[in-house]
Amino acid sequence: MADESPDYSNAIAEHVVRHIGPITNVFHEARPYLFELDILVLGPHDGRPHTTLVTCGMSELPMRISIENPDDLGRVPELRHAELLLALPPDWPLTPEAFEKEEHYWPVRWLKKLARFPHLHEGWLGLGHTVPNGDPPEPFAANTRLCGWLVDQPLLCPAELQELRIGGKVINFYATVPLYEEEMALKVRQGSGVLGQLLDRAKVTELIDQGRPSVTT
């Protein structure tokens, strides 16, 4: 059963404002599914020259955590709830008219899909997890080869954002980093650690760059 309340949503919004900046818009859903999910929009400001999108509502339901190492079982309660974020260039169009084109809308569409993904599939999203756009993965839009996601720590936000404790819950704030097909294949072959090192070396963050070079080349 959902345990979200207006005060709880407000606490998420206040946490985001405290650590990122003012909310300049909110994308509400006309027909909520499973739970009410908002996308908080935080525009560029004071040394943060990009737009940040953050989900508010994914943590309403607990994720079903699957951990193989018995030593990690004690961490399960702290992994059950999460919200997701990504960053966009400051000139990324965010109007209803722009969203009629998939090349503008796909980051918003996928934040919503990823927020519901663990609840629809009775699983979970945590650090190092990847989610492809289909099998085989297909590009998110005609103007990019990006076709999958890595769940990672936010690199463009202060560390204090990553965890919110409220009402007996721990909410983890994870970044979603878009990947190329060959980058996801590398992770399968060599592990998330190798991919993470290459992404760090290339300074890839949650800020979407639709034409960035692949870290495998």
The fraction of the chain above a pLDDT of 90, given in percent, is 80
Contacts of 2 (CB under 8 A, 6+ apart): 35, 60, 61
Q: Domain for residue 207, yes or no?
A: no
Residue with tokens 């076709």: 147
Q: What tokens does 33 get?
A: 């599914």
Q: Domain for residue 161, yes or no?
A: yes
Question: In this model, does residue 2 exceed pLDDT 90?
Answer: no
Q: Domain for residue 210, yes or no?
A: no
Round to whole Å and give the CA distance between 81 and 59. Answer: 5
Residue 49 has what pLDDT?
94
Total structural domains within the chain = 1
158-189: string of b/e by CB count within 10 Å (b at 16+)?
Answer: eeebeebeeeebbbbbbbbbbbbbebbbbbee
Other C-beta atoms lying within 10 Å of the C-beta of residue 216: 12
Give the residue numbers spanning the domain of 56.
6-201
Q: What's 107's DSSP letter?
A: H
Q: Domain for residue 192, yes or no?
A: yes
| pTM of model > 0.85 | yes
Q: What is the pLDDT of residues 93-123, one digit of tens each?
A: 999 999 999 999 999 999 999 999 999 988 8
Q: Domain for residue 217, yes or no?
A: no
Question: In this model, does residue 5 exceed pLDDT 70?
Answer: no
Helix (H, G, I), strand (E, B), or coil: what is residue 155?
A: coil
Other C-beta atoms lying within 10 Å of the C-beta of residue 70: 7
Round to whole Å and give the CA distance between 91 and 105. Answer: 14
Q: Domain for residue 214, yes or no?
A: no
Task: Specify whether the CB–CB gap between 51 and 42 falls below 8 A.
Answer: yes
Q: What is the pLDDT of residues 21-38, one digit of tens each?
A: 999 999 998 888 888 999
Q: Domain for residue 211, yes or no?
A: no
Q: Domain for residue 13, yes or no?
A: yes
Other C-beta atoms lying within 10 Å of the C-beta of residue 62: 18
Q: How confident is the model at residue 69 (pLDDT cuts 50, 70, 90)?
A: low
Q: Name which of 86, 26, 84 is nearest 51 in CA terms.
A: 86
Residue 139 has what pLDDT?
98
Round to whole Å and give the CA distance between 83 and 165. Answer: 13
Round to whole Å and give the CA distance between 53 and 212. Answer: 20
